[in-house]
A and B are shown apart, each in its own frame.
Chain A
């Protein structure tokens, strides 16, 4: 009886006592986090909100409308640049997923001379400033007299997305138990059969995540595309950039919102696939 009486008292006395290391529970820390999150989200939320604004000037809120989405959809140039983006991203994803997966597997599996140097070389496109790669591609294509087109954009996108896919594949393979392969060999399967029936099923979520990453990187890229795109081969980010040069209209906001939703969906999909695969 006495204990029962004491229990709520204890809670009252100690319940509010915060562990000195629970920084997140402190008011000043929560305020700081709040300010930081506000800084991170306000510009983008405002941009998305103003794509629904029923005003041409895009300065004060006048009312809710979908009309700029319809206008953006009917804008011939905007529409075709969106289709260009999808085409470039699709083709480069297929090629870079294939090459990147093989590269990732090779780096995971084999020991070979000068491997650290090779790894440095293979990860170089991730490390150097984007503008350096962009101008290098421009110089190269003009040297071999190749006119800038969707093809040159795709080739460049493949080159810079391969290392990203390889990194994802290697991360996935680092959790692989090689004894499964040994069992498969012991049971008489060939190397080819072992790869397709044992290794690849384990690898598959990594391949899907790598492909989604490659697609997102390609569709989002501005700097490298800026230098490798020619007349008539505009992608969506390039088109948005040139529209911005005139003025920031709700139409630009609408096109941007479509791109944001697309990339966020793909990235969250990739994350979910990876998280589910790692749990298993």
Chain B
């Protein structure tokens, strides 16, 4: 690396244009939002700068706190499910024969390259009342019913009522897991790949079972990967807007939707700005935990 002072002109040429663009079309807009977050709503729905903390206070009112709490909770469940699904997935790939590792990894991240909107709405066709899942359940129900009739127990199963699977919290959680699973698998795989297998062998040789080895040896060794995957998935889930918008109902609104609402039908930009900054602060805190954790991991040699 060179010192910038050695060649100030070249340094300026390289770094200048991108900095200019990012300051003008990214930092400045964010700064405006920050200022707006201390403003208020004028009589015609315009934003007036009042330098008050009223919007932040409003965010702490019960109705809004409830939505924030629900977002934190939905994102938490989605992250937990991602971990439960992603851990065996990452382990299966990391312990696969060398020639299979990359193809398997590719299979996991391939769906992730298709459009977010399309990935989310593909679940509508699966979950709706006359969707693939309800059809599969109905088919199962009919087959069981047939078997029961054959065994001389007609009427036992009753008629099939399609389940209401769409436009509720569970649909949002399924969507979030689906969209963010690769973000969990990749860090988990990265740390599991580096894992020293001899520790696991030692544990098994010394008589511990597979479950005990998993919880007492593997999990502590891949902890940085777990933490990294969990935090990344959580950040992405809590800030999502599209998934609850498409798959959720009125009771599964998340912060993202509340923000979008302020810039849409409610037309209260000042309040939306405050919420948006609260979401960003939360993201920064999580990112900071992640960085601190990564540094600790380096220091202890994991």
Question: In the complex the two chains form, is A58's CB within 8 Å of B29's CB?
Answer: no
Q: Pick from A44, A105, A132: contact of B111, CB below 8 A.
A: A44
> Given the complex of chains A and B, what is the CA–CA distance between A30 and B276 in angstroms?
43
A42 to B122, CA, bound (A): 9
Q: When chains A and B are docked, how far (Å) is the Cα of A152 from the Cα of B273?
A: 20
A110 and B100 contact, Cβ closer than 8 Å, known pairs A248-B124, A248-B125: no
Instruction: Check if B125 sits within 8 Å of A139, measured CB to CB.
Output: no
- Do A129 and B25 form a contact, CB below 8 Å, given A24-B96, A112-B4, A135-B33? no
Once A127-B287, A139-B32, A260-B114 are accepted as A-B contacts, the answer to whether A166 and B125 lie under 8 Å apart by CB is no
Q: Does B38 contact A (CB under 8 A)?
A: no
Tell me, yes or no, whether B289 is within 8 Å of chain A by CB. Answer: no
Min C-beta distance of B94 to chain A, whole Å: 9
Please encode chain B, from 256 to 289, with 1 for each CB lying within 8 Å of some chain A CB and 0 for all others: 1001100100000100110011011001000100
B2 and A259 form a contact (CB under 8 A): no
Identify whether the interface residues of A are mostly helix, strand, loop, or mixed: helix
Compute how far the CA of A131 lies from the CA of B244 in the bound complex, rounded to whole angstroms: 13
Q: Does B30 contact A (CB under 8 A)?
A: yes
The 23 sampled A-B contact pairs (Cβ below 8 Å) are A24-B96, A24-B97, A30-B92, A32-B92, A40-B108, A41-B111, A42-B126, A43-B123, A44-B111, A47-B122, A59-B130, A99-B18, A110-B15, A131-B239, A136-B276, A137-B29, A140-B29, A159-B22, A222-B117, A237-B115, A244-B124, A248-B121, A256-B121
The chain A residue with its CB closest to the CB of B3 is A111
Q: Which of A24-51 contact B (CB under 8 A)?
A: 24, 29-30, 32-33, 36-37, 39-44, 46-47, 50
Residues in A whose Cβ lies below 8 Å from that of B115: 220, 222, 237, 256, 259-260, 263
**Nearest 6 A-B pairs (CB), nearest first?**
A129-B239, A140-B29, A43-B122, A106-B14, A103-B18, A136-B29
- Contact residues, B188-223 vs A (CB, 8 A): 197, 200-201, 204, 210
Q: Which residues of A contact B (CB under 8 A)?
A: 20-24, 29-30, 32-33, 36-37, 39-44, 46-47, 50, 58-59, 98-100, 102-103, 105-107, 109-112, 121-122, 124-125, 127-133, 135-140, 143, 155-156, 158-160, 162, 166, 191, 216, 220, 222-223, 227, 237, 240-241, 244, 248, 252, 256, 259-260, 263-264, 267
CB-CB under 8 A from A156, the residues of chain B are: 25
Residue numbers in B under 8 Å from A22 (CB-CB): 95
In angstroms, Cα B21 to Cα A220, docked, is 22
Which residues of B are at the interface with A, using a C-beta cutoff of 8 A? 1-4, 7, 10-11, 13-15, 17-19, 21-22, 25-30, 32-33, 36, 85, 88-89, 91-93, 95-97, 100, 104, 107-108, 110-111, 113-119, 121-126, 130, 132, 178, 181, 197, 200-201, 204, 210, 235, 238-242, 246, 256, 259-260, 263, 269, 272-273, 276-277, 279-280, 283, 287
Whether the Cβ atoms of A33 and B119 lie closer than 8 Å is: no
Residue from A43, A100, A135 in contact with B263 in the complex, judged by beta carbons closer than 8 Å: A135
Chain A nearest CB, measured from B182 CB (Å): 9
- What CA separation (Å) do A256 and B7 show in the bound complex? 49
A21 to B118, Cβ gap below 8 A? no
Task: Select one of A24, A159, A259 contacting B92, CB under 8 A.
Answer: A24
Query: Beyond the given A112-B11, A125-B22, A140-B25, could you list 15 further A-B residue pairs with CB under 8 A, ordered by the A residue number?
Result: A21-B201, A36-B85, A39-B178, A40-B178, A46-B122, A103-B18, A107-B15, A127-B283, A129-B241, A129-B283, A220-B115, A240-B118, A248-B121, A256-B115, A259-B118
B178 touching A43 by the CB < 8 A rule?
A: yes
CA distance A264 to B118 in the complex (A): 13
CA distance A156 to B21 in the complex (A): 10
Of chain A, the residue at the smallest CB distance from B181 is: A40
Asked if B92 and A44 make an inter-chain contact with CB atoms under 8 angstroms apart, the answer reads no
Contact B25 A159 (CB under 8 A): yes
B270 CB to nearest A CB, Å: 10
- Chain A min CB distance to B191 (Å): 16
